Structure 1
Amino acid sequence: MYKNIFKIVLLALVLGIQSCTTAVIDKGNKNTLPPINKTVTYQTDIKSIMTNNCITCHAGPAPNAGLDLSNYQNTRYSAAQGNLVARMNSATNPMPPSGTLSPQTLQIIDKWIIDNLPEN
């Protein structure tokens, strides 16, 4: 009796795993979004993006890749060098590793750079 239940559960598990797929969700394109008409600043807009997406790995005494994004100066430097946006837009090795940020978030970061990386 228990062998039959075990076989049924095992079969259901195998079928469940085989039916799993990775969904590809088209998040759109940041170039098709309406323009941002306000000045984007680190304190108001960028800091929360870094906090929610980056500093779990890129902060503290030993940040990944030696990149600390926990403050304005370091984030500004990385953005000015082009490294920050290049990695966020990378199709083969995106940051964060869980996948690319939304087009809206990427547009905010781009606008911050266009606005000359203001802090406040």
Structure 2
Amino acid sequence: MNNNKFIILCFMLGFTLQSCTTAILDEVDKNTLPPLEKTVTYESDIKSIMTNHCITCHAGPAPNAGLDLSTYANTKYSAEQGSLVARMNNATNPMPPSGKLSPETLQILDKWITDNLPEN
């Protein structure tokens, strides 16, 4: 490759890399979301959140931290104690370990607690 082609290639590569941008999405605050109008229940809303985000570690004969979130009664107890949502909202060490749940999911959990933790 001659010098002119090399210089043009480097220029084009530099221009291309410079024009690339990274979109940074602002995290939505759950308090700015529109309020949920429906009653949130364990069976219709919370159970799937626990199944998708929690019970891989927090279920079975030896759940992590001794916390079994595989049943309504156990999840309700954890929510009543304040540890369930507090840990999910922890900025430095949130649960699940893969990262903080979406503001929409956290809003559903908060609404369930506000609705007095109904099962059905």
User: Unaligned regions of 5+ residues in structure 1, if any?
Assistant: 1-22
TM-score by length of 1: 0.79
Identity %: 80
SS of the residue 1:105 aligns to: helix
CA distance in 2, matches of 1:93, 1:116: 27
Aligned length: 98
Aligned to 1:61: 61
After superposition, give the CA deviation of every residue in 1:90-118 in whole Å (9 maximum; x if it has no partner).
01110000110000000000000000000
CA distance in 1, matches of 2:46, 2:102: 14
CA distance in 1, matches of 2:77, 2:59: 15
Alpha-carbon shift at residue 82 of structure 1 (Å): 0.3
Matches within 5 A, 1:1-120: 25-120=25-120
Q: 1:25 to 1:97 in 2, by over 3 A?
A: farther
Q: Higher Cα Rg: structure 1 or 2?
A: 2
TM-score by length of 2: 0.79
User: Unaligned regions of 5+ residues in structure 2, if any?
Assistant: 1-22
CA distance in 1, matches of 2:106, 2:52: 14
Across the aligned residues of Structure 1 and Structure 2, the Cα RMSD in angstroms comes to 1.2
Return structure 1 stretches of 4+ with deviation > 6 angstroms: none
